[in-house]
Structure 1
Amino acid sequence: MIRGYDRYGMFIDEPIGYRISPDGSRILLYYGEIKINADDQYHVILCTRPSEE
């Protein structure tokens, strides 16, 4: 549980998306999390690494 939500994550071997940095370059994303709230609603977050508290 991180910041009041259950989170489950997974590293993927190939990029699953990218983030555009302020200088316009692309940062490849290899990690995804599922964030679940108390009502069992969820959404997927693509990120560079696991969330930290």
Structure 2
Amino acid sequence: RKEEEEATTKPLLSDYLYNITNNTKIVIIICYNLCTFLVQAEQSFLLKYLKM
């Protein structure tokens, strides 16, 4: 019985860890895109402000 339980929990744990790593990658990509967008927006805003 214990062996059966271990057999069922191991794949669940690996799936869980896999999902965490995937979600972390997604979050990092979203943050990176957001940061680059904000930097570009700030630069364009500063350029407009300086031209005035």
Q: Same fold (TM over 0.5)?
A: no
Q: Which has the larger radius of gyration?
A: 2
Q: Which has the higher helix share?
A: 2
**Structure with higher RCO (Cα < 8 A, 6+ apart):** 1
> Taking structure 2 as the reference length, what is the TM-score of the superposition?
0.12
